[in-house]
Chain A
Amino acid sequence: DAGVTQSPTHLIKTRGQHVTLRCSPISGHKSVSWYQQVLGQGPQFIFQYYEKEERGRGNFPDRFSARQFPNYSSELNVNALLLGDSALYLCASSPRLIYEQYFGPGTRLTVT
């Protein structure tokens, strides 16, 4: 079975721009979570969606938003990009609302 896929792999944006990151979960997984990982730190939770509803939100500003589609894929949107948004953005899927998560390879976002 294919694992979690994310696109794009790498992205370079300018301050103030908007970005959309995409994630396809493992087939059959209904939960998708988004994490931000800054170099040298552990992943930090941004959002979780389960059955197309938001089930958790981390301590991130309203510039960050997400949604889950009927096929359980998901998008993470970030508006008005700041230099500090530069990070690896990870998507994880799970067959259930909680318990172990399966991560994708991430999208490396660089804001200049």
Chain B
Amino acid sequence: SQKIEQNSEALNIQEGKTATLTCNYTNYSPAYLQWYRQDPGRGPVFLLLIRENEKEKRKERLKVTFDTTLKQSLFHITASQPADSATYLCALDGDNAGNMLTFGGGTRLMVKP
């Protein structure tokens, strides 16, 4: 079955630096990959979607790359701010005609002022 791995250890960085989060997957070839942000006690918030034929996508300070050969996506936040502190989840379309999302466990990002 498909497996999605995100670094379970928290990522601590200094304000102004670039945060890079990793999402690796196995046993699957997704049509698209999504990134969500989740704050404690709240539902995830959609950030970006990248399709299998896209290498990179940007939105303001966010950048996502998608390498289907390596089966990996990288999520970058440039000029990070303390307000960016949250858990970031990657999600792939399900292995059944895309009617479900399979989420990774998420990586907690802490941006220190």
- Chain A interface (Cβ within 8 Å of chain B)? 4, 33, 35, 40-45, 48, 50, 55-56, 58, 90, 92, 97-106
Contact = CB atoms under 8 A, between A and B. Distances in A.
Interface residues of B, number: 26
B105 A56 contact: no
Given A90-B43, A105-B42, A106-B43, A98 B98 contact: yes
A56 B49 CA distance: 21
B96 A56 contact: yes
26 contacts: A35-B103, A40-B105, A41-B105, A42-B4, A42-B89, A42-B91, A42-B104, A42-B105, A43-B101, A44-B103, A45-B102, A56-B99, A56-B100, A92-B43, A97-B98, A98-B99, A100-B34, A101-B46, A101-B101, A103-B36, A103-B43, A103-B45, A104-B43, A105-B42, A106-B41, A106-B42
A104 to B, nearest CB: 5
Interface string B31-62: 01010100001111110010000000000000
A14 B104 CA distance: 30
Given A42-B89, A105-B43, A106-B43, A48 B100 contact: yes
A99 B49 contact: yes
A100 B105 contact: no
A43 B103 contact: yes
Interface in B61-113: 89, 91, 93-94, 96, 98-106
Given A33-B100, A45-B102, A48-B100, 6 more contacts: A4-B43, A44-B103, A45-B94, A48-B99, A55-B99, A98-B93
